[in-house]
Chains A and B, each alone.
Chain A
Amino acid sequence: MLVLGGLEGSIALVQWEDDVTLGPLAYPDEPTRQFRDALRLLFILAYGGEEVGEPPPVPNSVRFVSSQKRLQKMDFWVRNPDHLAYALLDRYEVEGEAAWLIHAREILESEEPEIRRDAMAKYLWGAYEPIDTGIAPLISYGLAQTQRNPETRRRSFLLLKRGADVARQMEKDLSEARWYASRAALVGDFCRGRTGADLARMQYKRPEYANAPNGETIASIAIEVRARLATMEGRHV
């Protein structure tokens, strides 16, 4: 029996005998969570958002995501590379555009589905986590702003010029940020021209997504998507 040393407190003992039993694990990343969320949302707005028209709806705004739902869906794909890869393969199958397949393959051949996964809970109609905590710093620092349409009551998320500058600077300074830039750009490309409802329908195609109970994280589909790609490429897993 092997007891993992140095892991105490909320970390369960990992017992090792002939078979392996693993206890529940905690996620000790809370202290920085809101900054990480803010970073991700900043990059989604900066690289996945659409350019604002003239005149800008809000002074100094440069890009926007038209609804919280849309932002949530985009966030889900950034946080779950496996689900994104699945959607990319679907798109490739429909459109035959090799770029989508290449993106999907790059994701699946990397450890992204495991390392980049940032599990998201499902609530009622899909992946939904309150994003206010993540958006709040962006607003407070004057990087983004929200605007509610008085008619539709829909809130749109706007990237301010200062936000775009910060994002550019972060991309330059932080290696971690670069991944978000390119991924957000990919997700933005992928979602362009689609409504939040369209995106929700696409994500609901996966049973892991559709059938996840309310409030629980949406499971990884990495194994299945890798198998799907292999099948598509005529490989055996």
Chain B
Amino acid sequence: MSEQPPAQPPIPPFKEAVAERAKVTRAIVDRVLREAGVVEEKATRRADHLALRRLSFSGEKQDTHMTDGQYTFLWEGLAPGLWGVLSDGANQIGKSTVIEVMLWALRGRVRSLKSEVREWINEVELEFTIGQELYCVSFTDFGSVPRGKLVMTVPGPPRTLDTFEGDEAFERLMGELMMRRFVLQPIPNISHMGDEANQYFHAWAAYAASMFIEGSHPAILGDVTVGALWWRMLHLFVGMPYAATHMALRNALTLEQAKREGFGAKQQTQRGYDAKIKRLEEEEKRISSELDDLPRTSVTSRELDSLTKESATLTRSVSELQERVASAQVGATALKAQRDEARATLRRLHEGAKSRKVFAGLNPVCCPRCASAFPPSQVDVEEAEGRCAVCNRSTLGKDEGALQDALQFAGERLDGLTRAENEAQKTLGQLQKKLKVAETRRTESAAKIREVERQTEALRSRRELEDSAMKLSGALDQLRALASQDDLIQPDAERVGVLKAAEAIAENRMKSGSLDQLSKLEAEVTNVAQRFGFRGLEAITIRGNGITLTVSGVRSTYSKQTAGQKLRLRVALVTAMMRLAHRSGFGHHPGLLLIDAPGSEELSDTDLLAMMTEIGQVASETPNLQVFVASARGDVLRPAFETANVRLPDLKGAIF
């Protein structure tokens, strides 16, 4: 049932086109694409679909208040078509658990299985087919550690593909199988963290999420809304030409771009480091030269102490000596004054004595009082009797003795004072000499201290400088370490050129090659959605930047649709893909849909039943589609299912 491709001249080999466009050799294109991990698609995959065949799980329920105890759930004879796990209005009876266990076993990772429910599950076994192959994944789950194996039973003989222990190993194993079997490319994406850009991959878990539909979701496909993942998955599910190549190239370019930006940032940081290092190095040089210029000091603090003490002692002794000199000077001056006075006294005495002698040679002629003349006889009496001719005093002889006494006394006094003054002058001279010596020593000491202080200053400066130098050296080491950590990866202009050329060519080829398939898909989705009860839907346009709908002549978008319409569109998209794949024989979607609680989407009983009936109808028309529905509105939906395809609660009211 494959369609004939339109007659067109074959396009040239991708790498050659890239080499031509990028103006590089083919070898360079090979290298760049290899380095970027870009693989050219050579062919699309024949559509094989996934179908669950048998599910069993067992364990022991606890604290349910009604159905505690060991259980085993077994659902056999599964095949493509519509299947339901229904209850009549009852919840919490295990409908969703069946769906969750299916998904768990298929992708190796639980989605939203409640942890207490997981506790009840001890063993799980799921048989499924992919195309003609039959697989069985079986594992135990004690303490939330899955341990099990994946066995390919058909074509026989059965062989264990691998065993696993732990969630990661389980997921890795299932991912490897599914990605390989459905030829799905990991979808690269870039995460930006600060300056860093890192590539990561959406793999099987993301693809598998597109098989699970729980009501309306912001994404039309899968459960990831960021990075237009639905659009990428759509391309890969549909098998659009060059889609994977284009994605890989787009990512390689983004990474390169990020690297380049990171390079810029790093370069700036590096330049910052370099400038800082240069500055610090200059500073270090300056300090080192300053250190060289500083006089080498040999001053110890003890020396400085002793010098300071010595200077203090000298200052004290100088000031003491100054005081002593001053007081000796005062003493000497006073002594000189006394000696002068003694000399004056002696002079006066001598003068007096001489005068007396002269006057004594004169005879009194009159009374000094009344000036009356003396008779000469009065003078004779003085000569004869030794009595004064004027006052008749009889002790004239004593005057000479008193004079001699006074003269001797004054002479001795002068001698004594002269000696004393000489002594004082001598002492003063000695003191002055001592003072001069002390002053000289003090001057020397002060000069020494000034020198030492200068040296101390130099020493302090040296220590400060050495300290700075040490800090600088530490800072430099750190900076150099930092700078060397950031080895710069120079973005390669050639690589960017090749990647850009390749991306442009891949995009071009993808677009031109996809256009036809995309328009077929759009028509099919429109058709299926209409059948599912999307009234008034006239056309759907699916593009990377969004899904546009024309409803009753009005253009709208997916995000503006009601929950019911979204549910219809989500189921319709996967259904349409499977229908196209069935018709063309090419496609990558596993063809399994797990729909949980569609009844909660504000759909009327009539609409819900109509939709589900139509899903059943479409599913029966689409041999590669298997749909499981879990719903508590079994009373409404029962007519949409074949009786054999429905699991109902047991007598205790539990699904398991």
Contact = CB atoms under 8 A, between A and B. Distances in A.
B38 to A, nearest CB: 108
A115 B347 CA distance: 8
A5 B416 contact: yes
A18 B321 CA distance: 10
B341 A25 contact: yes
B364 A141 contact: yes
B355 A117 contact: no
Given A6-B412, A142-B366, 9 more contacts: A18-B324, A22-B331, A22-B334, A29-B345, A31-B406, A34-B352, A111-B340, A140-B366, A141-B363
Contacts of B419: 4
A120 interface: no
A5 B415 CA distance: 9
Nearest to B419: A4
Interface in B394-451: 399, 402-403, 406, 409-410, 412-413, 415-417, 419-420, 423-424, 427
A176 B351 contact: yes
A16 B354 CA distance: 36
B351 A27 contact: no
A28 B399 CA distance: 14
A36 B324 contact: no
B619 to A, nearest CB: 133
A159 to B, nearest CB: 15
Nearest 3 A/B pairs, CB to CB: A20-B331, A32-B352, A136-B368
Interface string A1-43: 0101111010100101011111001011111111110110000
A25 B338 contact: yes
Contacts of A174: 354-355, 358
Contact of B359 (A20, A114, A137): A137
B338 A118 contact: no
A18 B326 CA distance: 10
A2 B420 contact: yes
| Count class of interface residues, chain A | 35 or more
Contacts of A28: 345, 349, 406, 409-410, 413
Contacts of A9: 409
Contacts of A137: 359, 368
Contacts of A39: 351-352, 355, 358-359
Contact of A29 (B327, B366, B406): B406
B335 interface: yes
A21 B403 CA distance: 29
Contact of B358 (A4, A29, A170): A170
B344 A19 contact: no
A226 to B, nearest CB: 14
A7 B358 contact: no
Interface residues on B, range: 35 or more
A59 B356 CA distance: 26
Interface in A115-156: 115-118, 135-137, 139-143, 145
Interface of B: 324, 327-328, 330-332, 334-335, 337-338, 340-341, 343-345, 347-356, 358-359, 362-369, 371, 390, 399, 402-403, 406, 409-410, 412-413, 415-417, 419-420, 423-424, 427
A32 B350 CA distance: 8
A14 B417 contact: yes
Interface of A: 2, 4-7, 9, 11, 14, 16, 18-22, 25, 27-36, 38-39, 111, 114-118, 135-137, 139-143, 145, 166, 169-170, 173-174, 176-177
A136 B369 CA distance: 7
B327 A20 contact: yes
Contacts of B348: 29, 32-33, 36, 118
B348 to A, nearest CB: 5
Contacts of B341: 25, 27, 114, 117
Contacts of B410: 28-29
Nearest to B416: A4
B373 to A, nearest CB: 9
B359 A29 contact: no
Nearest to A20: B331
Nearest to B373: A142
A25 B403 CA distance: 19
Contacts of A177: 354
A163 B347 CA distance: 23
A31 B328 contact: no
B562 to A, nearest CB: 120
Contacts of A19: 324, 327-328, 330-331
A170 B344 CA distance: 20
A96 B563 CA distance: 135
A116 B363 contact: no
Nearest to A19: B327
